[in-house]
Amino acid sequence: MANRHLARSVTMQSLFEWDFNGCKDEEMEKIISRNLKEFAPGLEDDKFASKLAEGVLKNRKKIDSIIEKAAPEWPLEQVAIVDRNVLRLGLYELLFEDRKEVPPKVAINESIELAKTFGSDSSGKFVNGVLGTVYREIGEPGKDETSKKKDSNANTEDLPIEAKAGGVVYRMTGKKIEFALVHDVFGYWTLSKGTPKDGEKTADVAERKIKEELGIKTAEVKDYLGQTEYIARDPEKGQIRRRVDYFLIETEDKKLNLAPSGGLDDAKWFNPNEIAELKTYEDIKLLLERAIDLLKK
């Protein structure tokens, strides 16, 4: 068994024991130490197992919230204890680990293997579904990096295109402008975007998705802001070209009600001066600047 896969197995078994015995965080170090000696004597990378367990416990509240949002039909306490802790481990690696050290596809595949090994016949499929949902909704970890990398052995022009549409949502209060942004699990403020249904026009996609995701009733497309494109990796499809058309959209609603989402945890209004100080993606920042310029004119 590969060194790191074995370490993950020990971590999962330790999380199972910790969960089964009442989630006493102070016991985890002792549990990990004992399980490493029992199940992985001589493991070279034993610190990796401890690091994973500590990371899961540190981010447990946020991870559990994401599980509940990504699988709303399954209350967390009703999820099988093996599946629950495989998901905790997988989401920690997918969302909080260094992507250079643990690529998203590795985090997902390793979790599926753990679920198949320790869980029921349906565990692998369940874990794959939840992690796949989160992965797609967060817009793929490292999209800024992958969009700048060029693979000399592959022609990106030949990759399948996945079309999406989104919008910069604003409202006017007198002469003051405010923009609605959503906050993702990586700590970035970004824009809502969605996938077209059969025959749906891009502007209609953006309007529908914004209403659904922000929980608003009014949304009127005012202008076209442009298109972004980047190379993404889908856990099922592999590499794809994700192409997103963005629109400037006005709403009269004041209150935002973020819909349940595995990749988003907040939605707020910001004025143009506040936007300049926000942590956001470079392509999103350019779209916001374009929207501010249009509205000033």
pLDDT value of position 233: 59
pLDDT value of position 149: 43
The CATH number for 3-137, chosen from 1.10.940.10, 3.30.470.20, 3.30.465.10, 2.30.30.110, is 1.10.940.10
pLDDT value of position 152: 39
Task: Please give the model's pTM, rounded to 2 decimal places.
Answer: 0.57
Residue 77 class from Cβ within 10 Å (0-12 exposed, 13-18 middle, 19+ buried)? exposed
Tokens, residue 235: 């856990």
Q: Is residue 260 helix, strand or coil?
A: coil
Cβ-based neighbours of 243, under 8 Å, separated by 6 or more: 161, 162, 163, 164, 227, 228, 229
| First-to-final CA distance of the chain | 63
Q: Which amino acid is at 261?
A: S
d(CA 224, CA 245): 8
H-helix segments, 59-214: 60-70, 81-95, 104-118, 123-137, 143-148, 202-214
Q: What is the dihedral of CA 201, 206, 207, 213, to 10 degrees?
A: 140
Mean pLDDT of residues grouped by 10 in the chain (297 residues)?
85 96 96 93 85 96 87 86 96 88 88 94 90 72 44 62 93 93 83 91 95 95 92 65 93 93 83 90 90 91
* CATH 3.90.79.10 boundaries in the chain: 156-296
Closest C-alpha to 185, from 280, 277, 95, 60: 95
d(CA 153, CA 181): 37
d(CA 35, CA 32): 5
The CATH number assigned to the domain with range 156-296 reads: 3.90.79.10
Closest C-alpha to 164, from 240, 253, 236, 105: 240
* CATH 1.10.940.10 boundaries in the chain: 3-137
pLDDT value of position 282: 84
CB 94 within 8 A of CB 134: yes
pLDDT value of position 236: 61
pLDDT value of position 72: 74
